[in-house]
């Protein structure tokens, strides 16, 4: 039987054909190897609320407390953030100063919402102001932006005392050049439909109103 030997020319043709068939798959595999997944979006900036029992949400479910309401308010106005409460029941400005350095390191903006318990204790306004000034200084030293939440003292504590205490907040905001949310409790504290039965702490609706007032100022601080 006659044999037909394969010539080098024939082998080259066969190899060329095989390489041509394999090339598209090889190219696709190489392309897949060089492709990288898209980068993850950066985490949202953190807003920490340094405060007392109102910030802690005494008497409310966590999703109804002021920090959660502030988160919802910021979401509604299209301001990405992650709000966390850092409130302790009964905290005065002195207590806040004692723990300000424990404000989480990832904090971008800290809302300082203290002073209500100073009022209840009749603390001298100059002492409250000194404590708040020191809190702000500690936060600024860590490059944390500050929103100072104002507290308006009721006249029943004495006209002169109420005037001096109330004035602490706008004066300090100007002096320290920080963001200021004036009298954010006004219209909530003392209004029965916004208060819990104890007459001291806001209910869920009161917490919502407080948060809605804070949100635009916090959003401005986040954009700074």
Question: N- to C-terminal Cα distance for the chain?
Answer: 92
- State how many domains the chain has: 1
Inside any domain, residue 111: yes
Asked if residue 14 is part of any domain, the answer here is no
More confident call, 16 vs 107: 107
Q: What integer pLDDT is reported at residue 23 of this predicted model? A: 53
Of these residues, 40, 160, 192, 198, which one is catalytic?
198
Say what the pLDDT of residue 155 is.
86
The CATH number covering residue 171 comes to 3.40.50.1110
- Residue 173: give the domain boundaries: 46-223
- Known catalytic membership, residue 201: yes
> Is residue 217 scored above 80 in pLDDT?
yes
Higher pLDDT, 27 or 85: 85
| In a domain? residue 114 | yes
The pTM (predicted TM-score) of the whole model is 0.82
pLDDT tens sequence across 166-193:
999 999 999 999 999 998 888 898 899 9
DSSP three-state, residue 107: strand
Domain for residue 138, yes or no? yes
Is residue 183 a part of any domain in this protein? yes
Cβ burial, residue 223 (10 Å; 0-12/13-18/19+):
exposed
1 vs 3: CA distance, rounded Å: 6
C-beta of residue 36 within 8 angstroms of C-beta of residue 179 = no
Q: Tell me, yes or no, whether 131 lies in a domain.
A: yes
Q: d(Cα 177, Cα 175) in Å, to the nearest integer?
A: 6
- 52, 91, 118, 201: the catalytic one is 201
Instruction: Count CB-CB contacts under 10 A for residue 203.
Output: 17
Q: What is the pLDDT of residue 21?
A: 47
Q: Looking at 52, 53, 124, 192, which residue is catalytic?
A: 53
Q: Establish whether 124 is a catalytic residue.
A: no
In a domain, residue 94? The reply is yes
What is the pLDDT at residue 1? 47
């Amino acid at each position: 039987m006659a044999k037909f030997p394969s010539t080098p020319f024939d082998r080259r043709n066969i190899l060329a054909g095989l390489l041509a068939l394999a090339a598209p798959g090889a190219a696709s595999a190489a392309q897949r190897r060089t492709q990288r997944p898209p980068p993850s979006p950066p985490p949202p900036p953190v807003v920490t609320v340094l405060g007392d029992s109102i910030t802690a949400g005494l008497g409310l479910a966590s999703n109804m407390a002021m920090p959660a309401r502030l988160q919802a308010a910021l979401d509604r106005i299209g301001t990405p953030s992650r709000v966390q409460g850092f409130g302790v029941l009964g905290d005065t400005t002195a207590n806040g100063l004692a723990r300000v350095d424990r404000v989480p390191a990832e904090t971008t903006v800290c809302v300082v919402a203290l002073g209500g318990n100073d009022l209840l204790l009749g603390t001298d306004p100059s002492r409250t102001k000194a404590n708040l000034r020191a809190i702000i200084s500690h936060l600024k030293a860590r490059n944390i932006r500050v929103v100072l939440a104002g507290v308006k003292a009721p006249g029943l504590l004495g006209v002169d005392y109420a005037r001096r205490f109330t004035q602490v907040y706008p004066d300090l905001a100007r002096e320290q050049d920080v963001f200021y949310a004036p009298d954010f409790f006004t219209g909530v504290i003392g209004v029965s439909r916004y208060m819990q039965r104890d007459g001291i702490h806001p209910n869920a609706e009161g917490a919502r109103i407080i948060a809605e007032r804070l949100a635009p100022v916090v959003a401005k601080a986040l954009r700074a």
